[in-house]
C-alpha cells in the first residue's frame, strides 16, 4: 500500500474541515475526489502535503517509505516531497526573481540528494527539462521566466504538470488542476498526467467536475461532504454525479 489515512480530523484556525477521513491507496491507482465547494477536498490534499496552516487534531496519515507504511505527520513539507509526494496547486503562487529552471533544478537536486542519486548541473538539467516540454506544448522560454510570474491560468497549470513529470512522484495530488482550463489546455494537461500513470505512480485527482475524468480514467471516485467520504464508487459514480448533482447524496441542496 502507498497511502493509508486513518480517521483524519484537521482544522484551520478554529474551523474543523476534515471530520474523519479514511482512505487507502495502492501503487498504480488513480483516485478522484469529488464534492461540492467547501467539502474539504483542497484541505485534504494540503494536509497530506503538510501545509502549516492546517492542524491535524486526530487520526494519522501513513505513507510507504522504504517498503513500509510509516506516519508522516511529523515530516516537513519538503521531507514529504522528497519521499515522492507531489502537490499540484489549484492556484500556483508567483515567486518573482527566481527563474523556473533554477527552482526546478533545486527541487530536482533536493530529491536526488535525498534518494542518494546524482544531482544534475544546470546544463544537463535543462536538457532533461527540454525533453519533457513537447508533451505539454510548452516552449523553452518558460524555463527562463520567474516562477509563475505573469503566467496565464493555463500556463500555470501546465507548469505544475511539468514539475510533476520532472519529479516523478509516487503520489501526485492534483488539486483542481482542471479549473480555469479551456478544452485544449485540459487535454494537454490530461496527457501530461497520463504520462505519469504507471504501476508505481498513484494519482489523486481533486476535482469539482467530471470533465477531467473523461481524459484521465479513475479507478475510484470518492465523494467528500463535510469533511468525510460519504460515498465511494468507480468511474460511473462520477457520471452519475454529473447527471444528478450532489443533492441525492448529501440530502440537502448544495452547489
- Is 49 a binding residue for another protein by CB under 8 A? The answer is yes
- Is 89 a binding residue for another protein by CB under 8 A? The answer is yes
- Is 76 a binding residue for another protein by CB under 8 A? The answer is yes
How distant is the alpha carbon of residue 242 from its chain centre?
A: 22
User: Are 238 and 221 a contacting pair, CB within 8 Å?
Assistant: yes
72 versus 238: smaller Cβ distance to another protein? 72
CA distances 158 to 95, 183, 194, Å, are 16, 13, 13
Closest separation in Å from C-beta 57 to another protein: 16
Choose, by CB under 8 A, the member of 13, 37, 74, 96 that binds another protein.
96
Which residues neighbour 137 within 8 Å (Cβ) at sequence distance 6 or greater?
158, 188
Q: What's the grid cell of residue 145?
A: 521566466
Which stretch in 7-15, 94-102, 187-195, 228-236 sits in contact with another protein by CB under 8 A? 94-102
CA distances 239 to 108, 164, 188, 214, 219, Å, are 38, 27, 22, 10, 13
- Is 130 a binding residue for another protein by CB under 8 A? The answer is no
What is the contact surface with another protein in residues (CB under 8 A)? 49-53, 76-78, 80-82, 86-87, 89, 92-93, 95-99, 102-104, 106-107, 110-111, 114, 146, 163, 167
Amino acid at each position: 500500500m502507498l497511502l493509508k489515512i486513518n480517521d483524519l480530523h484537521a482544522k484551520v484556525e478554529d474551523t474543523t474541515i476534515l471530520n474523519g477521513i479514511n482512505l487507502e491507496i495502492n501503487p498504480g491507482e488513480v483516485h478522484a475526489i469529488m464534492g461540492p465547494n467547501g467539502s474539504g477536498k483542497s484541505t485534504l490534499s494540503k494536509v497530506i502535503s503538510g501545509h502549516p496552516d492546517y492542524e491535524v487534531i486526530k487520526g494519522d496519515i501513513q505513507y510507504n517509505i522504504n517498503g513500509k507504511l510509516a506516519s508522516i505527520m511529523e515530516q516537513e513539507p519538503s521531507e514529504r516531497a522528497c519521499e515522492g509526494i507531489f502537490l499540484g496547486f489549484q492556484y500556483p503562487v508567483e515567486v518573482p526573481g527566481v527563474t523556473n529552471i533554477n527552482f526546478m533544478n533545486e527541487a530536482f537536486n533536493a530529491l536526488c540528494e535525498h534518494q542518494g542519486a546524482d544531482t544534475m548541473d544546470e546544463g544537463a538539467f535543462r536538457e532533461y527539462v527540454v525533453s519533457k516540454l513537447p508533451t505539454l506544448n510548452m516552449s523553452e522560454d518558460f524555463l527562463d521566466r520567474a516562477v509563475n510570474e505573469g503566467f496565464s491560468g493555463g500556463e500555470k497549470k501546465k507548469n505544475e504538470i511539468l514539475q510533476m513529470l520532472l519529479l516523478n512522484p509516487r503520489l501526485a495530488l492534483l488539486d483542481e488542476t482542471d479549473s480555469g482550463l479551456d478544452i485544449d489546455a485540459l487535454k494537454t494537461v490530461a496527457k501530461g498526467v497520463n504520462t505519469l500513470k504507471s504501476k508505481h505512480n498513484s494519482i489523486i485527482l481533486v476535482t469539482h467536475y467530471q470533465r477531467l475524468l473523461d481524459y484521465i480514467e479513475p479507478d475510484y471516485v470518492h465523494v467528500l461532504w463535510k469533511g468525510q467520504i460519504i460515498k465511494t464508487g468507480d468511474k460511473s459514480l462520477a457520471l452519475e454525479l454529473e447527471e444528478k448533482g450532489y443533492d441525492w447524496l448529501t440530502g440537502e441542496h448544495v452547489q
